């Protein structure tokens, strides 16, 4: 009998779960668009234009909800849901005593979407949104196009077309897989607009395409020998230096940083330059010690099943009754799943705010990453549910940083930060095994090859090259050569 009971409810339960999961996976801005489409489709669903707390449902005159956002007094974080206002964070905070208006520059994803938007077909838009959301701090796309095609259930050629648009928008080279690919795309764009001699363009392309690693190490003589052997190029002495200088002047290995590195928000968080889904501040009334965590719900209004339509449907008969009944059931499902999504986001942020207070108020080195499994167990949810809740969301921190929610789960971040500090403080260049040994002394067990991987992620050259760079610098050898090596290999600080 129990089995029969489950059987009966399965279609409904499955629909509920699937919808909740799909809502959970979307950032608030995208979910807002999805809900608006649902409103267009379903006349039984109604958006009441009044300000209500998405947590307790109380009508509000002003934000935040005085009940849900009340300080607890014991220093615990206050985590509450907040209706998203049209225009995002700015509008909500647009009071008298709030953020200066200049604090948020146009986001990189918005900037690119604004340019490519008109060229996108309807079915290409979600792919563009996905690509832009996946860009890392340097503007690179580490996900393979085939992976995106599979994930979004679209043809690979469609992904490639969208990616091509992204890569050739301003700043060119965003969306490439790495610095080398990015430089080649930038060179393409440059050749369309620049009056540089074709021979220079050609040499620059050869250098980037075939001798990228050697350039970083300034092995110009070796490169000249190989160009002679492999391409029959007989270059005048100093030509490669000139070409490298040309690359340095016109191209940048880290396209996102070049354009977005000067704003208030640190360049490292470019990927998360979007309307944050969560806004964390400190509670002034609590002496600034307690955290106030505002989890944005996707709508500013109140979503409900249209009561008149519901009443009218009850008086219908036959086919009409069934049709309206279905619409009403769907509308009820949407409101229920939305509530559940909001509820899960709030619980997730509660546990993160409690566990990550040091990182929220401090820096990357204070991160004590959680695993999705730990959080899933603490909340009694499945790990995949946590993954969906984390996907694509971003968090504004009290000091103005906006970071991907996934950052709270980044195990390597604290170690990477320590590697960077060690290299910055070195007097003689530390080899990777020496860095590993230094980390081990601090209780961080990291393999040498992992150090090498983190070092590359940080854009730090190997110790042997760092040593040569320092000597070059001291001897004030050709200034441009040193700059180029830095530009090709190290992201600007
Ligand atoms: Zn409330």
DSSP string, 394-427: EEE-TTS-EEEGGGGG-TTHHHHHHHHHHHHH-S
Distance 19 CA to ligand 1 centre (A): 24
CB-CB contact of 291 with 282 (8 Å): yes
pLDDT at 351: 94
d(CA 262, CA 276): 20
For residue 9, the model assigns a pLDDT of 52
Distance of alpha carbon 69 from alpha carbon 55, whole angstroms: 10
- The pLDDT assigned to 16 comes to 84
CA contacts within 13 A on the Cβ side of 222: 10
Helices (H), 42-155: 89-92, 108-116, 125-134, 145-152
Query: Could you give the angle at the alpha carbon of 400 between the alpha carbons of 375 and 81, nearest 5°?
Result: 50
Ligand 1 centre to CA of 55 (Å) is: 5
Distance 300 CA to ligand 1 centre (A): 14
Query: Cα of 209 to ligand 1 centre, how many Å?
Result: 58
Per-residue confidence (pLDDT) for residue 148, from 0 to 100: 93
395 CA to middle of ligand 1, Å? 21
In terms of phi and psi (left: phi > 0; alpha: psi -120 to 50; beta: otherwise), the region of 459 is left
Q: What are phi and psi of 63, to 5 degrees?
A: -95, 155
Q: What is the pLDDT along the chain (493 residues), one digit of tens a residue?
A: 444 444 445 566 778 888 888 899 888 888 988 999 999 999 999 998 888 888 888 888 887 888 898 887 788 899 999 887 543 333 333 333 333 333 344 677 887 887 788 788 888 989 999 999 888 878 899 889 999 999 889 999 999 999 999 998 888 899 999 889 999 999 988 887 667 788 889 999 999 999 888 887 778 888 999 999 988 888 888 888 888 888 877 788 778 765 443 333 333 333 334 578 999 988 876 666 789 999 999 887 889 999 998 888 888 888 888 888 999 999 999 999 999 999 999 999 999 999 999 999 988 778 888 878 888 888 988 888 888 898 888 898 888 777 888 888 866 777 888 898 899 888 889 999 999 999 888 777 788 888 988 888 788 888 888 877 666 554 443 333 333 444 444 343 3
Q: How far is the CA of 228 from the centre of ligand 1 (A)?
A: 73
Q: What whole-number distance in Å separates Cα of residue 407 and Cα of residue 394?
A: 9
Instruction: Give ion ligand 1 contacts, CB < 5 A.
Output: 53, 55-56, 65, 67-68
- Which pairing describes strands 302-305 and 45-48: parallel, antiparallel, or unpaired? antiparallel
Whole-model pTM? 0.52
CA separation for the pair 311, 476 (Å, rounded): 84
413-489: what fold? Arc Repressor Mutant, subunit A (1.10.10)
User: Structural domain boundaries of the chain?
Assistant: 2-57+299-407, 108-177, 413-489
Distance 65 CA to ligand 1 centre (A): 5
Position 273 scores a pLDDT of 45
Write down the residue that tokens 């690693």 correspond to: 213
Rounded distance, CA 469 to CA 481, Å?
10
User: CATH topology of 108-177 equal to that of 413-489?
Assistant: yes
- Looking at CATH, the fold of the domain delimited by 108-177 is given as Arc Repressor Mutant, subunit A (1.10.10)
How far apart are the CA of 57 and the centre of ligand 1, in A? 6
The helix (H) or strand (E) run that includes residue 47 is strand 45-48
């Amino acid at each position: 009998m129990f089995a029969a009971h489950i059987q009966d409810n399965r279609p409904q339960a499955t629909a509920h779960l699937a919808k909740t999961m799909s809502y959970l996976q979307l950032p608030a801005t995208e979910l807002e668009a999805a809900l608006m489409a649902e409103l267009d489709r379903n006349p039984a669903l109604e958006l009441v234009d009044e300000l209500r707390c998405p947590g307790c449902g109380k009508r509000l005159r002003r934000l935040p909800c005085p009940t849900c956002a009340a300080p607890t007094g014991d220093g615990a974080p206050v985590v509450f849901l907040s209706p998203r206002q049209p225009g995002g964070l700015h509008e909500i905070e647009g009071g008298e005593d709030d953020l200066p208006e200049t604090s948020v520059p146009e986001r990189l994803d918005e900037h690119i979407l604004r340019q490519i938007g008109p060229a996108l077909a309807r079915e290409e838009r979600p792919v563009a949104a996905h690509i832009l959301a996946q860009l890392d701090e340097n503007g690179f796309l580490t996900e393979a196009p085939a992976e995106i095609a599979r994930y979004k259930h679209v043809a690979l050629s469609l992904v490639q077309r969208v990616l091509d648009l992204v890569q050739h928008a301003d700043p060119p080279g965003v969306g490439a897989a790495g610095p080398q690919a990015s430089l080649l795309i930038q060179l393409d764009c440059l050749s369309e607009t620049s009056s540089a001699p074709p021979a220079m363009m050609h040499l620059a392309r050869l250098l980037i395409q075939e001798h990228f690693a050697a350039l970083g190490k300034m092995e110009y003589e070796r490169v000249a020998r190989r160009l002679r052997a492999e391409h029959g190029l007989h270059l005048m002495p100093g030509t490669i230096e000139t070409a490298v200088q040309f690359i340095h002047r016109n191209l940048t290995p880290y396209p996102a940083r070049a354009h977005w590195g000067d704003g208030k928000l640190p360049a490292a968080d470019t990927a998360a330059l979007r309307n944050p889904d969560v806004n964390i501040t400190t509670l002034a009334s609590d002496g600034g010690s307690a955290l106030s965590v505002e989890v944005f719900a996707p709508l500013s209004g109140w979503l409900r099943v249209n009561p008149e339509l519901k009443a009218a449907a009850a008086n219908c008969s036959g086919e009409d009754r069934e049709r309206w009944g279905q619409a009403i059931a769907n509308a009820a499902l949407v409101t229920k799943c939305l509530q559940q999504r909001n509820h899960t986001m709030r619980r997730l942020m509660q546990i993160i705010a409690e566990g990550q207070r040091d990182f929220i108020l401090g820096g990357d080195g204070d991160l004590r990453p959680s695993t999705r499994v730990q959080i899933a167990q603490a909340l009694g949810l499945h790990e995949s549910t946590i993954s969906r809740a984390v996907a694509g969301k971003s968090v504004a921190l009290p000091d103005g940083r906006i970071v991907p929610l996934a950052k709270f789960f980044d195990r390597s971040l604290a170690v990477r930060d320590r590697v960077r500090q060690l290299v910055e403080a070195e007097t003689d260049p530390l080899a990777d095994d020496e860095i590993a040994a230094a980390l081990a002394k601090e209780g961080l067990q990291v393999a040498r090859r992992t150090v090498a991987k983190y070092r590359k992620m940080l854009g730090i050259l190997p110790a042997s090259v760092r040593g040569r760079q320092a000597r070059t610098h001291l001897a004030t050898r050709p200034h441009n050569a040193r700059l180029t090596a830095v530009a090709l290999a190290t992201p600007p600080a």
